[in-house]
């Protein structure tokens, strides 16, 4: 007879016999678990669900407070400075030759140039701060709606600044231009 623990011989040739799998015993003194595993508790017990604590929207609101400075205040300053520069420069431009690249033509309007530059840097710094705080507020969900509004406004800030400055410069030059024909 054949040994019950050995597999039957292979019809494709002789293969070495496979030894039986070892049976493992629980070590002495080990904690024994029930054979079927642990059963689930009886009843309708569920783990308590805690609602997430409401987060403060202060970060988004802060970014929204900074964005109007970049969108409203800086273009107003640029408009005032641009109009004054346009109004005063045509009288000086008649005395300057096109062959020189001397920036002394801006000497009569140096105060307006400084005002425009201050407006530019105020708008730039507050706009960048509003963009960064808006992105953080959106990512951390701390005033997400305020952060989105602030982000959109702060991105529109530079466009509005240069648009207002260019229009004001042109309007100022149109009203303050000196006609060479004596009109």
pLDDT, position 110:
86
Q: Cβ distance 41 to 124 under 8 Å?
A: no
Between these two residues, 98 and 50, which has the higher pLDDT value?
A: 50
Query: What Cα–Cα distance (Å) separates residue 143 from each residue in 68, 134, 149, 150, 155?
Result: 17, 9, 10, 10, 18
Q: What is the pLDDT of residues 126-138, one digit of tens each?
A: 999 999 999 999 9
Q: Which residue is listed with tokens 């207002």?
A: 164
Q: Cβ distance 130 to 46 under 8 Å?
A: no
- pLDDT tops 70 at residue 86: yes
Q: What is the pLDDT of residues 6-49, one digit of tens each?
A: 666 666 666 666 777 777 777 777 776 666 666 666 766 677 77
DSSP annotation of 45? -
Count of H-run helices and E-run strands, the chain: 4, 0
pLDDT, position 28:
79
């Amino acid at each position: 007879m054949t040994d019950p623990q050995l597999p039957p011989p292979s019809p494709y040739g002789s293969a070495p016999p496979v030894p039986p799998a070892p049976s493992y015993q629980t070590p002495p003194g080990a904690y024994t678990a029930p054979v079927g595993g642990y059963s689930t508790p009886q009843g309708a017990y569920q783990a308590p669900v805690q609602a997430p604590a409401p987060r403060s929207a202060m970060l988004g609101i802060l970014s929204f407070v900074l964005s109007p400075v970049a969108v409203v205040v800086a273009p107003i300053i640029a408009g005032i400075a641009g109009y004054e520069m346009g109004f005063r420069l045509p009288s000086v431009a008649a005395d300057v030759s096109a062959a020189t690249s001397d920036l002394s033509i801006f000497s009569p309007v140096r105060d307006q140039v400084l005002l425009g530059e201050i407006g530019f840097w105020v708008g730039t710094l507050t706009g960048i701060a509003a963009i960064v705080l808006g992105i953080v507020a959106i990512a951390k969900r701390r005033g997400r709606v305020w952060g989105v509004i602030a982000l959109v406004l702060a991105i529109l800030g530079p466009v509005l600044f240069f648009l207002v400055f260019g229009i004001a410069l042109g309007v100022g030059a149109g009203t303050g231009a000196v006609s060479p024909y004596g009109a």
